[in-house]
Amino acid sequence: MGRNQPRRRPLVNELGGLVIVDKESGMTSHDVVARGRKLLRTKKVGHAGTLDPMATGVLVLGVERATKLLGQLILTTKSYTATIRLGQSTMTDDADGEVTATTSAARVTDEVIAAEIAKLTGDIQQVPATVSAIKIDGERAYARARAGEEVVLAARPVTVSRFDVLARRDEGDFVDLDVEVDCSSGTYIRALARDLGAALGVGGHLTALRRTRVGPFTLEHARTLEELATIADVLDPPPTDPTSDALPSAPATPEVDAAGPATFLDAGDPESAGSDARPIAPLVASATPEVDAAPRSTGTPESADSGPTAEAGGRAGASSPVAPAHAEPTPSLLSLDIDTAVSTAFPTRDITDVQATDLREGRWLDPIGIKGVYAAIDPTGRAIALLQESGKRAASVMLVRPKGMGD
């Protein structure tokens, strides 16, 4: 950005929310965060869980105040579609690694495959993939493996609640299996491919992986970075030279330090995922991004920000006396604002305005017998705090709306 150009304002308010990204292959989770910071015009972006560069699908980003939610999200279940190749093993248990052995799988029958898959379903002990994000004496296992060290990881308990074969394709000496897997956090789909191939005596590795769900967040709620970039340009068109008649070139985005003070949560493996909670209403088609149809009665929703709205293609803004009856809603970069995110991901407790004030001023409430972390919601539907009960107190573990924020 030029020295004489003003810094472009963030495209969400100070409370923010969650952005559910459909990650493309070849990007790390950190890459997605860095791109998100540029698109949202803020450094306050972090991610919950990670995805391998090869993998695609659901990645949860927290923005602005909602980055603090990421540490409270109990992301314990996840779902994947994947392709397993039988007949070949690799160093990394996926297609990115060097091939270490090849054995014909042409004679492996469906019945034998089903029997071995049954042994990998349920509560099992799994040795994580060698090239993983698990730390050994403070260093990632993948860093040690790439440095040539022999990495030995202990088996750990995981739960594979579903491991279904959708299709089989015979490719010469190889057998490709399209599968669906529901599992607990900490489960490696690469390791399932490796262990299935080993049990069949032919070796195996993962050739494709797509995460379809992290707890309550699914592909129905996700948008690609390209779709988000289009929305960002509607909310805040790139600056143009007023003396030039030429059409604007590619969107200009401010340079952002990719190592800024955002919250990064690494669940310990590149395939970590999320918690079961109430379902979310699906986003509308990507061409018309979801907008909160019933904004909270207090607070300033992102779509009400007068700056981006006033610039959004000449649509009626706050200064317009009358908006067209059929005007399209202002698009939003957020998949869920902070209130929707909190009420979706946590059990809720209705509180009074007086109790809301108490919490915002640092006091606690009387417990009512809810276990675990839950959300305190005021009479207008605003999330005030996340609470946890202990003894005679229901105390805040995160103040969603500090005093003076979002009023």
- Which of the pair, 24 or 327, is modelled with greater confidence? 24
295 neighbors 309 (Cβ within 8 angstroms): no
Range of the domain at 172: 77-214
Return the pLDDT at 130.
72
Residues 93 and 53 in one domain: no
In a domain, 325, yes or no: no
Residues forming the active site: 52
Per the structure, how many domains does the chain have? 3
Examine residue 47 and state whether it is found in any structural domain, yes or no.
Answer: yes
pLDDT surpasses 70 at 280: no
DSSP 45-100: EEEES---TT-EEEEEEEEGGGGGGTTT----EEEEEEEEEETEEETTSBTTSPEE
Q: Is 105 within a domain? A: yes
**Pair 117, 176 in one domain:** yes
Report the chain's mean pLDDT, rounded to a whole number.
79
Same domain assignment for residues 123 and 141: yes
- Which CATH number belongs to the domain containing residue 389 in this structure? 2.30.130.10
Q: Give the domain CATH number at 155.
A: 3.30.2350.10
Residue entry with tokens 């060097």: 98
Do 242 and 166 sit in the same domain of this protein?
Answer: no
Place of tokens 């029997």: 115
The band of 291, judged by pLDDT with boundaries at 50, 70 and 90, is very low
Report the pLDDT value the prediction gives residue 41, as an integer from 0 to 100: 94
pLDDT value at position 352?
Answer: 97
Residues in a beta bridge with 97? none
pTM comes to 0.74
- Answer yes or no: do 38 and 82 share one domain: no
> Which segments within 188-249 are labelled E, that is strand?
204-214, 217-218
Judged by average pLDDT, the poorest of 42-46, 247-251, 298-302 is 298-302
Pair (102, 118) in one structural domain: yes
d(CA 134, CA 266): 9
110 and 210 part of one domain: yes
CB of 56 closer than 8 Å to CB of 22: yes
CA distance linking residue 407 with residue 405, whole number of Å: 6
Residues 69 and 94 in one domain: no
Least confident range of 125-139, 150-164, 190-204: 125-139
Q: Hey, what are 55's tokens?
A: 């993998």
Q: Which two tokens stand for residue 352?
A: 């009074």
Q: Which residue has the higher pLDDT, 399 or 269?
A: 399
Is 207 inside a domain boundary? yes
**Residue keyed to tokens 């160093």:** 91
Are 384 and 371 within one domain?
A: yes
Cα 219 to Cα 20, 22, 60, 115, 290: the distances in Å are 8, 7, 11, 31, 14
Backbone angles phi, psi at 334, to 5 degrees: -80, 140
3-state secondary structure of 256: coil
Model confidence at 107, pLDDT cuts 50, 70, 90, reads very high
Task: Give the domain-ending residue among 154, 185, 214.
Answer: 214
What pLDDT score does 154 carry? Answer: 80
Q: Are residues 147 and 268 in the same domain?
A: no
pLDDT tens track for 20-31: 999 999 999 999
How many CB atoms within 10 Å of residue 355?
A: 21
Helix (H, G, I), strand (E, B) or coil at 168: strand
Same domain, 186 and 92: yes
Which of 191, 214, 237 is the last residue in one of the domains? Answer: 214
172: left (phi over 0), alpha (psi -120 to 50) or beta: left
Encoded amino acid at 345, one letter: A
Phi, psi values for residue 396, rounded to 5°: -75, 130
Question: Are residues 86 and 149 both part of a single domain?
Answer: yes
Q: Of 158, 192, 214, which one is at a domain's C-terminal end?
A: 214
Is position 336 within any domain?
no
Q: Is residue 155 part of a domain?
A: yes
Report CA-CA distances (Å) from 247 to 75, 116, 238, 242.
45, 60, 11, 11
296 found inside a domain: no
- Confidence grade of residue 50 (pLDDT, cut at 50, 70, 90): confident
Per residue in 162-189, pLDDT (tens digit) is 999 999 999 999 999 999 999 998 899 9
Residue 12 resides in a domain = no
